[in-house]
Structure 1
Amino acid sequence: MSSKVFIITGASRGLGLAVAQYLAQASHRVFLVARTEKDLQAFKAQHGSSVEYLAVDLADWKVAPRIIESALQAFGRVDGVVVNHGVLAPITRISESNVEEWRKAYDINVLSALALVKEAIPELRKSNGRVVFISTGAAFGAYSGWGSYGTSKASLTHLSAHLALEEPAITSVAISPGKVDTDMQKQIREGGKEAMTPDLHAHFVDEHKSGRLLDPKKPGNVIARLVEGATKDVNGKHFRWNAPELANFQDV
């Protein structure tokens, strides 16, 4: 497969970093976006001219045009986007919530993704490109304290379906990566006890203690292969990372 150009958000650590590692090792060119510049610099130092980055806060919608312009300046085209950035906070029950905190969560989880994808559409039309949105099981089931996260990710997942409907040249898919061993899981364990039900919080703690959290590379490799080569049969749909329908994209 010839070298392509992919934009990955939330790429400095965890799942986004795993996706970036796979694509860079597959000889693609990657444009990384995250807030932590030193981590992006370290990745570029490892991979040289095949990697460029922009250290910005995606909650500021004005950065979306800069991201696309910078990627084009670096590599001349865009073949795919992985929308991986997002926040879990606030973990709080609706009765105790702060509407401003919910607005901030939606700014990051939904509207910043919309801004970026909108700017990428002209280039993705040219390349018959792909967009992979990182969803979650919480977009389909209610969990105490997770209202802002679950509802915003549900909106993001539906955005993927609308993109698929409106842009026939672009393939779009939403993926739930499961319980991945990332900072978000640490946030659940350390900050979720008060708002979550005791059983649910204990379940997440036990998943970590028992070593059952996923290595980011497992779902990360699937996501990387999807942005690299997702076919139209997955267009507009949502899948768990290990769904039977994605067998061709999973590790053997």
Structure 2
Amino acid sequence: MTPEPSDRPVALITGASAGLGLALAHGLAERGWALVVDARGAEALKDAADALAVHTDVVPLAGDVTDPDHRADLVDAITELGRLDLLVNNASYLGQSPLQPFATTDLDELHRVYEVDVLAPIALTQALLPALTASSGVVVNISSDAAVEAYETWGGYGSAKAALDHATRILGAEHPALGVYAVDPGDLRTAMHQAAFPDEDISDRPEPVTVVPAFLNLLDRRPPSGRYRAAEFAPAVTS
């Protein structure tokens, strides 16, 4: 399917077939944003796109963000739409489950973590900078508290997210016309979080949809580029 040029704001969200990525996609769709969404699983992505299409125009592209050809397809879709207002680098890889101490971490797994969580977001952002610059757009890189806290066995994922956090800060310094944010959404009830704690019941964690208002508030307020926790932008609860 060839997308038509968009007369509404456009967001590209990676890892959008489930979890936080899908929740953010629905939040933006309900605001009338057009979407380009990706995920590795074609069937799950199609189901997600069908649900999103009730609200907005959506272009689903299945693939792996570490694949240069897939990233080129994403860039082509944005070019066809004629604009990009928001890039959400949400696709992430946790690593081996259960998580392993650094001393015994499989280096091939560590390489994959860094490839997905650091290099792919940087590469996609580089490729989309002209479109983002034209719209004075926003980049949101999904972070984690593991990027700033030294949790045992979280060395691979945590250090990768720390690297992405710092890359976010540098990009923000280099491109002051953009809003560039690393955002820690907090613990959520997602497949990745379950993989991190395979033997635990995580039903007490909030659903991803609960943090969507905070992300939308971040976009509305557009604070200085930097690292934030989603909780900082949670709408006030009124009685």
TM-score w.r.t. the length of structure 1 is 0.84
Aligned partners of 1:56, 1:225: CA distance in 2, in Å?
Answer: 30
1:180 Cα deviation from its structure 2 partner: 0.3
User: Given the alignment of the two structures, is residue 44 of structure 1 paired with residue 44 of structure 2, yes or no?
Assistant: no
Aligned to 1:229: 220
1:250 Cα deviation from its structure 2 partner: 6.7
From 19, 26, 29, give the equivalent of 1:24.
29
Aligned to 1:217: 209
1:23 Cα deviation from its structure 2 partner: 0.6
Aligned to 2:158: 150
Larger displacement relative to structure 2 (97-106 or 63-72)? 63-72
Aligned partners of 1:234, 1:145: CA distance in 2, in Å?
Answer: 33
User: Given the alignment of the two structures, is residue 181 of structure 1 paired with residue 173 of structure 2, yes or no?
Assistant: no
Aligned partners of 1:52, 1:22: CA distance in 2, in Å?
Answer: 16
SS at match of 1:86: coil
From 51, 56, 66, give the equivalent of 1:59.
66
Task: Please tell me whether the aligned partners of residues 95 and 112 of structure 2 are also in contact (alpha carbons under 8 angstroms).
Answer: no
1:234 is aligned with what amino acid?
P
Q: Runs (4+) of structure 1 moved beyond 3 Å?
A: 249-252
1:122 is aligned with what amino acid?
P
Aligned partners of 1:221, 1:57: CA distance in 2, in Å?
Answer: 28
Q: Deviations over 1:9-35 (max 9, x none)?
A: 010000000000011111110110111
Aligned length: 228
Task: Please tell me whether the aligned partners of residues 61 and 111 of structure 1 are also in contact (alpha carbons under 8 angstroms).
Answer: no
1:230 Cα deviation from its structure 2 partner: 4.7
1:163 is aligned with what amino acid?
L
Aligned partners of 2:78, 2:44: CA distance in 1, in Å?
Answer: 18
Task: Please tell me whether the aligned partners of residues 71 and 78 of structure 1 are also in contact (alpha carbons under 8 angstroms).
Answer: yes
Aligned partners of 1:69, 1:21: CA distance in 2, in Å?
Answer: 23
Q: Deviations over 1:194-220 (max 9, x none)?
A: xxxxxxxxxxx36x2xx4301101223
